[in-house]
Amino acid sequence: MPTSTLIQNPILKGFNPDPSILRVGDDYYIATSTFEWFPGVQIHHSRDLVHWRLITRPLTRPSQLNMLGDPDSCGIWAPCLSYADGLFYLIYTDVKRYGQTSNAGAAGGASLRDFHNFLVTSASIDGEWSDPVYLNSSGFDPSLFHDDDGRKYLVNQLWDHRPGKNRFAGIVLQEYSPAQGQLVGERINIFAGTPIGFTEGPHLYKRNGYYYLITAEGGTGWGHAVTMARSRELRGPYELHPDTYILSSRDRPDAPLQRAGHADLVETQDGQTYIAYLCGRPLTNRGTCTLGRETAIQPMVWGADDWLRTDGASALVQLQARAPALPTHPFASVPEREDFDTPELPTDFQWLRSPWPEELFSLTARPGHLRLFGRETVGSFFKQSLVARRQQAHCYSARTRVEFEPRHFQQQAGLICYYNSTKFHYLYLSHDEVLGKHVRVMSSLPNHMSADAFSAPVTVKPGMPVELRVEVDMERLYFAYRAEGGAWKWLPFQFDASILSDEASAPGRANFTGAFVGMACQDMSGSGLAADFDYFEYRERSYRADPCAD
C-alpha cells in the first residue's frame, strides 16, 4: 500500500488543545480538552498520523461529568489518555472556579481556584467508560504514568494560592493504587520549573534507564514552550535539557504556527518518536486566534546524549512534517450539511455544560428537525439551549432554516457565532410589540467601549420559516436572511469576527476555547417556547473579496 509522506499541520483543526497521544498496536489516539462543552473530552483516531477522525467523547453521563455553573473556559482541562493491563485510562480535570489572575500577589480571593481530578477506564476506546474515581484537587493537568514494574503514578501541576507565592508551584508526583482506587503515600514536588514560569502539562516517560519529564511553560499564549528534564530516579532530582526548551515559537514571530506547547510523545511501530502539541494560527492582520488552540504533530530525534530534539535541533514547529512510513489511511469526509434525520446529534456538534440534553433539545420531537427548547439567556452557565460545531477554517459559510413564532421580546432563536458568554454575534428572530416578528443581531464585545451592541430590527413575515446565513472571511463577518424561496437580504454591517478568539478579552478572564457556529434558542419568560431547525450547513472555502456574493 502507498505510504503518506507529509503531515499537514495542524492535524486537528479548530478548538482541540492539550493533546494527549497514545498508540495501541497499529492505532493512534489523541485526546483533547473540551472545557465547558458537553460531552467531555474529544478522542481522535489515526492509523498513519496524517489522517484523523473524531471517534468518541467518553464523558457522557451525569455521574461522569456535570458542569452546570462552571465558568467560561473551565470544565474539562488537559485529559491524559494511556493504556495498560488491557484497559484504556483517561484522567481529566473538572475546573469549577478559575479566579481572575495567575499573577503572584493577587489581592483577596482572586487567586483561588477549584479543580477536581478524576480517572475513568474502558476496555474499548469507543465503548462505555466507567464511573469516575476521584483522585485529588491539588492542581490541574493530571497525567498517569505506568512504570515498567507495574506501579502507577500521578503527576499534576500544583496550585499555590498564597500571597507572594508562585501560583504555578511545580509538578507533584504521587503513587496511584488500582487495588484501593486512590492515591497512596505522600506527594513529592519533583520539578519547580524554569524562569519563564507557568509550569504545567506534565507527562512522564521511561527510556534507556532515564525518567523523562516534559512540561508546558511560559503560559499558553505567545510565550508557550515545551520543557524537558530527566532523572535516573523517578522522584528526582531532575536535570534540565541542555537546550531547556525542546519546542517553541516564543522567539519566532514569523512561524506559521504560534503558541506551541503542552506536548506529549508517542513512539511508532518502528521506534520513531513523534511529538503532539498545541498551537494557534493567528489572523494575519489581527493577530487573534479565532480557531482557538489546535493540535499539530512532528517527528523528534533522540541524540547520542539521550536527549530529544527536533529535526535540525532548531526547536521550531513545522507546518509540514515528515510522516512515518505507514500505509496511508484516509477517512471519509464529514458531511457539510446535516438534515437531523437521525435520533442522535451529529458527531461534530456539542452543547454547553449540561449532562441532561433532553432539557435543551430533541431530535425526535419533530423528526427531521433539531428542536431547541427556549431556556436561559445566551451565555448562561446553567441551562443554555445552544447546539454548535467548531469553526475549523478562517473562511467559511454557514446557514440554517428555522421555524419559530415568538410572541414577545423575551423569546429568541437563530444562528450564532459563539466563543463564550462575553464574546458572540447572534442573528436571531424575536418579537416586538410595535414591529412584530423581526430579525436583528446582538453582539457581545469584550474589548469595545460598549460591551453589548444591537443592530436595527428588520421586520419579517410571521408564520413562515426563515433561513439564516453567515459568511466569515478572516476577521470579516456578514449575516443574511431570507423568507422561504426569496432572495438573500444582507444586513448592512460588517461584524468583527476577530473578537471570537482567546486574545480578545476583558482583563483577567479565562479564554482557552475557540469559535463555534450553531443554533440557539432562548425563552427568558420561562415558558419554554421551542424553535425547529430543519438543517445546518457548514462549508469551508477559500477567501472571498466579496463574501456576500453567491
What does the DSSP assignment read for 187-216? EEEEE---TT---EEEEEEEETTEEEEEEE
Instruction: Identify whether the C-beta of residue 409 lies closer than 8 Å to the C-beta of residue 475.
Output: no
Kindly state the DSSP code that residue 179 receives in the 8-state scheme: T
Which residues lie closer than 8 Å to 355 by C-beta, 6 or more apart? 38, 60, 61, 62, 64, 65, 66, 67, 68
| 8 Å CB contact between 325 and 9 | no
The Cα–Cα gap between 262 and 16 comes to: 12
Place of cell 519547580: 192
Q: Tell me, yes or no, if 344 is annotated catalytic.
A: no
507: cis peptide before it, omega within 30°? no
For 518, residues 6+ apart whose C-beta sits below 8 A from its C-beta are: 349, 386, 387, 388, 389, 415, 416, 418, 536
Which candidate in 200, 403, 471, 503 is catalytic?
Answer: 200
- ∠323-325-328 over CA atoms, to 5°? 80
Chain-centroid distance of CA 143 in Å reads 18
Of the candidates 391, 418, 160, the residue with the CA atom closest to the CA atom of residue 292: 391
Among the listed residues 59, 11, 67, the one whose alpha carbon sits nearest the alpha carbon of residue 36 = 67
State the Cα angle at 326 between 56 and 311, rounded to 5°.
100
Query: Which residue is catalytic, options 18, 70, 467, 503?
Result: 18
- Count of residues in the chain: 550
76: its cell numbers = 474539562
Classify burial at 382, counting beta carbons within 10 Å of its beta carbon; exposed 0-12, middle 13-18, buried 19 or more.
middle
CA distance 263 to 303: 19
Tell me the CA distances in angstroms from 345 to 16, 38, 39, 55, 540, one per residue in order: 20, 12, 11, 14, 21
Tell me the C-alpha distance between 16 and 212, whole Å: 25
Tell how far CA 548 is from the center of its chain.
30
Main-chain phi, psi angles of 301, to 5 degrees: -130, 130
DSSP, residue by residue, 21-46: EEEETTEEEEEE--BTEESB-EEEEE
State the distance between the two ends of the chain, measured CA to CA, in whole angstroms. 41
Active site residue 200: yes
Find residue 444's DSSP bridge partners: 424, 452
Which residues carry out catalysis? 18, 200
